[in-house]
Structure 1
């Protein structure tokens, strides 16, 4: 499979590129700066320079043309304000979807966040609240599109080596999960077409990644 990854220089995206390359897939990392290309090439990805905040749908369609799937793993990042949470976490996600539609790429996996559709707790930092609103809006936009979408909502992201085991379901208690395990789940979801149309929450757990992804596609008893 050829898979275009928006936010290709981010930590989750780079680990996803490595996981996909190890499977024999062709990851295409969409990066904002030419200086990031060599980094993603070392991960086993092709590097394509595309700034989603300064592009239009045609630019995106050209960048993802020929892909079997796209993944939105971009984010405004730490230190960014509420405005960029909207332009990246909402606007860029929608632009990737529009470009995918134009290019005829039906499979779209969105990295969202646990808590995206809940009202922020009183006293929540305004920038973080803006981030959650942007993620919720990106989910709402994606649901309206004629795409084979899957939404993955990780809990609080941590660094560290992959554990290879997770908790994955429509609803799970809030918790942490390593970025490496998020990447592992994304790679497995991309190879599980029956996950299309599902919204999946993700935290650390005890179920092997492949088994966890298989379980969410099993019919209910």
Structure 2
């Protein structure tokens, strides 16, 4: 399979690319900074240099052409302001989905966030509230696309601890943390499980092996 990942230099994306390449898939990551290309090659991925904040739908559709799946794992990142939450976490996600539809790439996954909502809880820090609104808007856009077999993954608090390979994956998990290693492992399994299309899933650490957790939510 060929899988194209938006936000290809992100901490989850690099882990996912390593997993995909290690199992024999063809991973390609979209990056904005050419200086990051060697990091992608080091994990076995093909770097694709494009700026999703300024690219056209046609340009991104061109690089998605022939892919088997698309994964949106991009984000404005810590330290960015309200404007970039909108331009990356929402607008770039919409452009990527538009491009996937145009290229005919039906399998589409997006890394969202637990708590994504158009109305974050009162008292939420303003920039984080903008992030949650942007993620919710991107999710809502994806849910309205019958031309895509989408799955929305909403991890809890992300950590850099070593992955355990055991998670709690469900429509609602309650709050919790999860390692980036395990998020990547779940994404890799979801790519291979098209029967999870149409699901919005929360993810935290747990006791169920990743493959079993994905099989359970898919109803297989």
What TM-score range do you get, normalising by the shorter chain?
Answer: over 0.9
Cα separation, 2, equivalents of 1:19 and 1:171: 26
Structure 1 runs not aligned, ≥5 long: none
Give the match's secondary structure for 2:136.
helix
The Cα offsets for residues 170-218 of structure 1, whole Å up to 9 and x where unpaired, read as 1101100011110000000000010111110000001000000000011
Give the match's secondary structure for 1:151.
strand
Equivalent residue number for residue 90 of structure 2: 90
Tell me the TM-score normalised to structure 2 length. 0.97
Instruction: Work out whether 1:164 is the aligned partner of 2:165.
Output: yes
Structure 2 runs not aligned, ≥5 long: none
Cα separation, 1, equivalents of 2:157 and 2:118: 15
Cα separation, 1, equivalents of 2:12 and 2:89: 15
Equivalent residue number for residue 192 of structure 1: 193
Cα separation, 1, equivalents of 2:212 and 2:120: 32
The Cα offsets for residues 85-117 of structure 1, whole Å up to 9 and x where unpaired, read as 010000000000001111111110010011113
Cα separation, 1, equivalents of 2:23 and 2:17: 10
Equivalent residue number for residue 218 of structure 1: 219
CA contact (8 A) 2:28 2:45 kept: yes
Moved over 3 A (4+): none
Aligned-pair CA distance for 1:24: 1.1
Aligned-pair CA distance for 1:54: 1.1
Equivalent residue number for residue 66 of structure 1: 66
Equivalent residue number for residue 138 of structure 1: 138
- Pairwise CA RMSD of aligned residues? 1.0
CA contact (8 A) 2:185 2:210 kept: yes
The Cα offsets for residues 62-83 of structure 1, whole Å up to 9 and x where unpaired, read as 1111110000000000000011
CA contact (8 A) 2:169 2:202 kept: yes
